[in-house]
Amino acid sequence: MRLGVLDVGSNTVHLLVVDAHPGACPLPAHSHKVELRLAQLLDDSGAIGDDGIEKLIAVVRDALQAAEDKGVEDLLPFATSAVRDAVNADDVLARVEAETGVRLQVVTGEEEARLTFLAVRRWFGWSAGKLLVLDIGGGSLEIAFGMDEEPDAAVSLPLGAGRLTAAWLPGDPPDPEDVRALRRHARAEIARTVGEFSRFGTPDHVVATSKTFKQLARIAGAARSAEGLYVQRELKRESLEAWVPRLAGMTTEQRAELSGVSDGRAGQLLAGALVAEGAMDLFGVESLEICPWALREGVILRHLDHMDSD
Q: Does residue 171 sit in the same domain as residue 32?
A: no
Q: How does residue 308 score in pLDDT terms, banded at 50, 70 and 90?
A: low
Tally of domains within the chain: 2
pLDDT higher than 80, residue 7: yes
Q: Does residue 89 sit in the same domain as residue 219?
A: no
**Angle subtended by helix axes 89-100 and 50-69, to nearest 10:** 40
Q: How does residue 40 score in pLDDT terms, banded at 50, 70 and 90?
A: confident
**Global pTM value:** 0.95
Parent domain of 291: 109-295
Q: Does residue 90 sit in the same domain as residue 155?
A: no
Domain of residue 9, CATH code? 3.30.420.40
Domain boundary among 58, 83, 106: 106
Question: What confidence score (pLDDT) does residue 310 get?
Answer: 58
Q: Which of 38-42, 80-84, 254-258, 272-276 bottoms out in mean pLDDT, i.e. has the lowest? A: 38-42
Q: How does residue 309 score in pLDDT terms, banded at 50, 70 and 90?
A: low
Q: Does residue 131 sit in the same domain as residue 257?
A: yes
Percentage with pLDDT > 70 across the chain: 99
Question: What confidence score (pLDDT) does residue 27 get?
Answer: 94
Give pairs for 301-309: CB < 8 Å, separation 24+: 301/26, 301/118, 301/119, 301/122, 302/115, 302/118, 303/3, 303/74, 303/76, 304/20, 304/21, 304/22, 304/23, 304/26, 305/22, 307/22, 308/22, 308/23
- Looking at the domain assignment, is residue 309 inside a domain? no
pLDDT higher than 90, residue 219: yes
Domain boundary among 106, 130, 164: 106
Q: Does residue 83 sit in the same domain as residue 116?
A: no
Q: How does residue 261 score in pLDDT terms, banded at 50, 70 and 90?
A: very high
- Looking at the domain assignment, is residue 71 inside a domain? yes
Mean pLDDT rounded to a whole number for the chain: 95
